[in-house]
Amino acid sequence: MNIIANPNKLRGFERSIKVENVSRRDIVKGLGIAGAFVLAAPLTSRPALAAYETGAGKMPHGVVVDPRVFVSIAPDGMVTIIAHRSEMGTGVRTSLPLIVAEEMEADWSRVHVQQAPGDEAKYGNQDTDGSRSTRHYLLPMRQIGACARTMLEAAAAKRWGVPATEVKAANHEVVHNASGRKIGFGELAADAAKEPVPNIDGLKLKDPKDFRYLGKGEVSIVDLRDITTGTARYGADVRLPGMKYAVIARPPVTGGKLVSFDGSEAMKVPGVEKVMEVKGWPWPSKFQPLGGVAVIARNTGAAIKGRDALKLIWDDGANGKYDSVSYRTELEAAARKPGLVVRKEGDVDAALKGADKVVVGEYYLPHLAHVSMEPPVAVANVKGDKAEIWAPVQSPGGTHEDVAKTLGIPVENVTVNVTLLGGGFGRKSKCDFALEAALLSKELGAPVKVQWTREDDVRHDFLHTVSVERIEAGLDKNGKVIAWRHRSVAPSIASTFAAGAVHQAPFELGMGLIDMPFEIANIQCENPEAAAHTRIGWFRSVSNIPRAFAVQSMVGEIAHATNRDQKEMLLELIGSPRIVNLSSVKDPWNYGEPYSSYPIDTARLRKVVELVAEKGEWGRSVPKGHGLGIAVHRSFVSYIATIVEVAVDEKGKLTVPRVDTAIDCGTFVNPERIQSQLEGAAVMGLSLAKYGEITFKDGKVQQKNLDDFPVIRIDESPRVTNVYIVPPGPETPPSGVGEPGVPPFAPALVNAIFAATGKRIRALPIGKQLET
Amino acid sequence: MIKLKINGQEQTWEGDPTLPLLWFIRDEVGLTGTKFGCGEALCGACTVLLDKEAVRSCVTAVSDVAGREVTTIEGLHPTGDHPVQKAWRQANVPQCGFCQAGQIMQAASLLMQNPKPSHDQIREAMSGNICRCGCYQRIENAVHLASTGV
């Protein structure tokens, strides 16, 4: 099978790509705020423009720039702004409405944020993944705010009979300076609604020097108080009258199915009301449920106990032999032979043959589970041909469509209410748990909550892939790298969508393989085949984890082989400040962004290295047993460099006294949340480096909970993580933040371990490899 | 019939006495601030106070707390302004926030028993509570802040 040519086919699934219109009826119905006044009348929505181009318009359902969809003003002046992306901890539910408030001159203390249901025809794309929200929506949200401001100003000018140029919105009111008259937003709302929505092309956006909120980091997340008082509502917290509680026993092997079951013992458990089969789909089937047997009870505890009492017989199917030990050997064998060439510059074979020295690194990175703190959970209430869902989904629009399709009802009859997400990390981009709830509710004729236990979560995840990355670097007599061959072999996420996908999709190849930025004359990237035997999915930063690990570990290995400083070696490999020419790559993907707006700019890459080296005091002397490591990686069109200081004691126990990270994410909204994302990325990076590994035997996941799939706890987390943000140039478009912090951490750590101990870690997790 | 108090209110339970307190609190009483994260006392998301002591409600049977006083995040402070809650907000601790109720209850218990913990003591006492978002640096700072006055 060939590489899948159109990444949107996967990212957007089967949905079409277009900018949708909205109707007034939908707007009014959708907002439904008592006493609120929706801005203006129906018209078509417009795509974003034009100051810089992004890939937003190419996402399923594109972008909707329409104040009537996103903003409403109540007569008392309360401004309601729609958050159409999902909140899983990045702060997006605050940041996007804050952008609108900034441009429309709303006072943030008089803004209410309302979460949009899943409805992409109305709101545009809602897939909260790929570190795209600020990147794709900074400009559209500014335009929405500016439209609303312009309409309010026009209404005030009319009322006063003065030219619109003489009035100005400021802090929730419109002011006529010449006469000193002022009028509040609430009082203007009805008139403003009658104004035409201004043409985006002529919109005047605020001068950034006048920003009150953007770029300042002084606004806390809107859910902060509710989170600290236990009143914030996650998917698990939804309760409906008459709601039943369900847990499901699923096939232990991907692609397996139920042969028979006996629920008689389960029915004896107090509180258990019913045992029933759940429909499953054959593998691969995108995000459709695995099937199995559900236990329905009056509370979750009884359902779990009932499930423990089930007697189940499964047919494991074709993946029943999946074994991580032998699979690793298969991947290694594939990485040592030529594979599909996905980038070729110069003649790498000749250059390697003629090299003075060849440094070879072969790196292994296992499957990872997401283990978001909130395991998958969803509530559904299906009545006849109508369905309402409450779920912590990263894909509200996809869930909306998938529920309709799975139940065989019109999409207009489905409402998907998006709760807060107790973590997502890519797991909750797949709505299988919501589909399970919908199927059960339909059959029971009652509202149902499906709760995944942690064991379910670990055993039935859409796992991060498993990969072998092999790099051969040829050096000339002077130690200059003249040849670079990188083979990356890993089962693809495409395998979750279509049987027989054995090559990586462009969006995976584009994560650190074909976009490798080094200035080397002979480069070849290859992708040998790998078949999947379990469900593979997106995990925070995706294929960038193995690619950054391999490439940046290799930099450390070459530095050692040539007796040079890691940072100097890194800068030499990055080479001259330039825009990397990727014309030799058939589909460079580039995170779906136009290369003109988001090129690989090695000046920016160099800059984060130099910034982190300066602020992180690269080269400082450290105590015995400590070491410093550095790594840099561009992902989600942002540039991030990390320095890790590690301490390894005489027994091989490692701790991390200090982490320094520098990011260039272009124009940004909330530096305080950028900082929190990067602090968190260091912890997640340390988790995956130190412990992260899901293994299979006889087709079954061998781990079950947070004891055998441990993550970093506070007592072993980095003592301090410092974050430095590169101030954006005036024209630098925004880029990703949620994911890019993860990839450079693990290679910086293993480079530090090498500096501390002389031991080179080439396989993750580190586990007991350092123990003596 | 089992009787217990949750946040000062008397509750009764006539069902399975081995039902984990977590599910009694969440599904039967309807207080959803206390979270389910692992079911095995590994993550601390379900932490509540039994008198002053932090316990994992996911492995505590309802029968184990018969006649006892349980405090959940909803009952920690009448207006949500316990020093730990205030410190959490001042330090902008949460990302997704799901583990935070458990973290806050654990921190409140720590400060009842040790009003001025060192940073090492904070890290040790909070090590049973996992935050997958990785807010640990801020948790440590917030507990310290709560101990020194907000």
Give the three-state DSSP class for A253: strand
Q: Kindly determine whether residue A271 and residue B124, on different chains, have CB atoms separated by under 8 Å.
A: no
CA B127, CA A717: separation in Å to the nearest integer?
Answer: 10
- Both B70 and B89 in a single domain? no
Closest Cα to residue A126, out of A98, A99, A93? A93
- Both B57 and B89 in a single domain? no
| Contacts of residue A467, Cβ cutoff 8 Å, sequence gap at least 6 | A331, A364, A365, A488, A489, A490, A543, A546
pLDDT band, very low/low/confident/very high, at A524 (cuts 50, 70, 90): very high
Structure confidence at residue A468 (pLDDT): 98
- Both B47 and B63 in a single domain? yes
**Cβ count near A619 (within 10 Å):** 12
Structure confidence at residue A728 (pLDDT): 86
Q: Which of B56, B75, B94 is the last residue of a domain?
A: B75
- Both B6 and B67 in a single domain? yes
pTM for the full predicted model: 0.94
CA A180, CA A713: separation in Å to the nearest integer?
Answer: 58
Contact list, A236 vs chain B (CB under 8 Å): 26, 32, 35-36
**Cβ count near B1 (within 10 Å):** 8
Alpha carbon of residue B64 to chain centroid: 17
Helix pair angle (B83-90, B136-148), 10° resolution? 130
Q: Kindly determine whether residue B98 and residue A234, on different chains, have CB atoms separated by under 8 Å.
A: yes
CA A552, CA A570: separation in Å to the nearest integer?
Answer: 8
Alpha carbon of residue A41 to chain centroid: 35
CA B149, CA B143: separation in Å to the nearest integer?
Answer: 10
Interface test with A, best of B46, B133, B138 (most A CBs within 10 A): B133
Give B27→chain A minimum CA distance, Å. 6
The full set of domains in chain A, from first to last, is 13-229 (3.30.365.10), 235-318+376-451 (3.30.365.10), 324-368+462-757 (3.30.365.10)
In the numeric block, the tokens 């600290």 are attached to A228
Interface test with B, best of A229, A372, A428 (most B CBs within 10 A): A229
Percent of chain A past pLDDT 70, that is, above it, reads 93
Q: What is the mean pLDDT of chain A?
A: 93
Structure confidence at residue A658 (pLDDT): 98
Structure confidence at residue A10 (pLDDT): 33
State pLDDT tens for residues A80-107.
999 999 999 999 999 999 999 999 999 9
pLDDT band, very low/low/confident/very high, at A731 (cuts 50, 70, 90): confident
**Cβ count near B68 (within 10 Å):** 15
Mean pLDDT is lowest, of A1-15, A157-171, A447-461, A640-654, for A1-15
Contact list, A302 vs chain B (CB under 8 Å): 15-16, 19, 23
- Both B92 and B60 in a single domain? no
CA A569, CA A575: separation in Å to the nearest integer?
Answer: 10
Contact list, A424 vs chain B (CB under 8 Å): 96
Percent of chain A past pLDDT 90, that is, above it, reads 92
Write out the residue range of the structural domain in which residue B127 sits.
83-148
CA A632, CA A748: separation in Å to the nearest integer?
Answer: 8
CATH of residue B130's domain is: 1.10.150.120
* Among B18, B92, B99, beta carbon nearest to A373: B99
Contact list, A229 vs chain B (CB under 8 Å): 33, 73-74, 80, 85
State pLDDT tens for residues A532-550.
999 999 999 999 999 999 9
- Give the residue from chain A lying closest to B75, CA to CA: A229
Q: Kindly determine whether residue A706 and residue B26, on different chains, have CB atoms separated by under 8 Å.
A: no
Strands of A34-191 (E only): list them. Answer: 37-38, 71-73, 79-83, 111-115, 167-170, 173-176, 181-184
Strand partners, A71: A81
Q: Is the pLDDT of residue A23 over 80?
A: no
Alpha carbon of residue B82 to chain centroid: 13
Bridge-based pairing of strands B2-6 and B69-71 is: parallel
Q: Which of B54, B75, B96 is the last residue of a domain?
A: B75
Q: Kindly determine whether residue A373 and residue B43, on different chains, have CB atoms separated by under 8 Å.
A: yes
- Both B61 and B95 in a single domain? no
Answer whether A472's CB lies under 8 Å from A499's CB.
no
Helix ranges (H only) for A491-641 are 506-509, 544-561, 566-574, 602-615
* Among A237, A454, A682, beta carbon nearest to B39: A454
Residue A747 is which amino acid?
P
Closest Cα to residue A49, out of A232, A220, A199? A199
Q: Kindly determine whether residue A680 and residue B95, on different chains, have CB atoms separated by under 8 Å.
A: yes
* Among A221, A420, A453, beta carbon nearest to B39: A453
Q: Is the pLDDT of residue B140 over 90?
A: yes
- Domain total for chain B? 2
- Give the residue from chain A lying closest to B26, CA to CA: A237
pLDDT band, very low/low/confident/very high, at A3 (cuts 50, 70, 90): very low
Structure confidence at residue A108 (pLDDT): 98
What angle (nearest 5°) sits at the alpha carbon of residue A523, between those of residues A519 and A526?
Answer: 140
pLDDT band, very low/low/confident/very high, at A1 (cuts 50, 70, 90): very low
Give A184→chain B minimum CA distance, Å. 31
- Both B39 and B91 in a single domain? no
| Residue A691 near chain B (CB below 8 Å) | no
Contact list, B97 vs chain A (CB under 8 Å): 89, 223, 227, 232, 420, 422
| Contacts of residue A7, Cβ cutoff 8 Å, sequence gap at least 6 | A505, A506, A507, A587, A589, A592
Answer whether B65's CB lies under 8 Å from B11's CB.
no
Q: Is the pLDDT of residue A325 over 60?
A: yes
Give B83→chain A minimum CA distance, Å. 11
State pLDDT tens for residues B42-101.
999 999 999 889 999 999 999 999 999 999 999 999 999 999 999 999 999 999 999 999
Answer whether A491's CB lies under 8 Å from A533's CB.
yes
Q: Which of B44, B75, B106 is the last residue of a domain?
A: B75
In the numeric block, the tokens 């904070």 are attached to B122
Q: Kindly determine whether residue A230 and residue B19, on different chains, have CB atoms separated by under 8 Å.
A: no
- Give the residue from chain B lying closest to A297, CA to CA: B27
CA B19, CA A309: separation in Å to the nearest integer?
Answer: 15
Q: Is the pLDDT of residue A33 over 50?
A: no
| Residue A688 near chain B (CB below 8 Å) | no
Structure confidence at residue A358 (pLDDT): 98
Provide the residue count of chain A.
772
Query: Dihedral through CA A135, CA A136, CA A142, CA A143, nearest 10?
Result: 150
| Residue A747 near chain B (CB below 8 Å) | no
Q: Which of residues 80-109 of A touch B (CB under 8 A)?
A: 87-91
**Cα–Cα separations (whole angstroms), residue A22 to A65, A84, A642, A737:** 11, 15, 45, 31
CA A600, CA A664: separation in Å to the nearest integer?
Answer: 12
DSSP 8-state code for residue A449: E
Structure confidence at residue A46 (pLDDT): 33
- Both B87 and B138 in a single domain? yes
Structure confidence at residue A44 (pLDDT): 33
Q: Is the pLDDT of residue A34 over 60?
A: no
Phi, psi of A103 (to 5 degrees): -70, -35
Give the three-state DSSP class for A248: strand
- Both B103 and B67 in a single domain? no
Q: Which of residues 478-507 of A touch B (CB under 8 A)?
A: none
Q: Which of residues 202-231 of A touch B (CB under 8 A)?
A: 220-221, 223-225, 227-231
In the numeric block, the tokens 């199917």 are attached to A317
Q: Is the pLDDT of residue A295 over 90?
A: yes
3-class secondary structure per residue, A1-34: CCCCCCHHHHHCCCCCCCCCCCCHHHHHHHHCCC
What angle (nearest 5°) sits at the alpha carbon of residue A334, between those of residues A329 and A338?
Answer: 155
- Both B9 and B53 in a single domain? yes
Give B89→chain A minimum CA distance, Å. 6
- Both B54 and B91 in a single domain? no
Structure confidence at residue A140 (pLDDT): 96
CATH of residue B44's domain is: 3.10.20.30
- Both B49 and B23 in a single domain? yes
Q: Is the pLDDT of residue A362 over 90?
A: yes
